[in-house]
Amino acid sequence: MSERETEIKIFNHRDEPIVINWLDYRGIRERYGILPTGAVLAQPTYVNHPWVITDLRGRSLAVLLPTTRPGQVTIT
């Protein structure tokens, strides 16, 4: 667990919305929201807090592990 804050920027370039999930300390997905097509989300987070981006059916599209430098990912 880290207390160092950072940010991940998520760009949705898919033709459908995507789901933003944080993995809690037990590895269980906690839904943070749905990102519409063409939208961008600047998600505050902490270093080493894992995130999983899925489609609406729950299929994984990306796994993110934030670092000390703010990051970004484009989902296509």
Which pLDDT value is given to residue 1?
59
Within the chain, which residues score under 50 in pLDDT?
Answer: none
pTM here?
0.91
Domain ranges for the chain, please list them.
Answer: 5-75
3-state SS string for the chain: CCCCEEEEEEEECCCCCEEEEEECCCCCEEEEEEECCCCEEEEEEECCCCEEEECCCCCEEEEECCCCCCEEEEEC
Q: Which of 14, 21, 30 is nearest to 52 (CA)?
A: 21
> What is the rounded CA–CA span in Å between residue 47 and residue 58?
24
Which pLDDT value is given to residue 59?
97
CATH of domain 5-75: 2.60.40.780
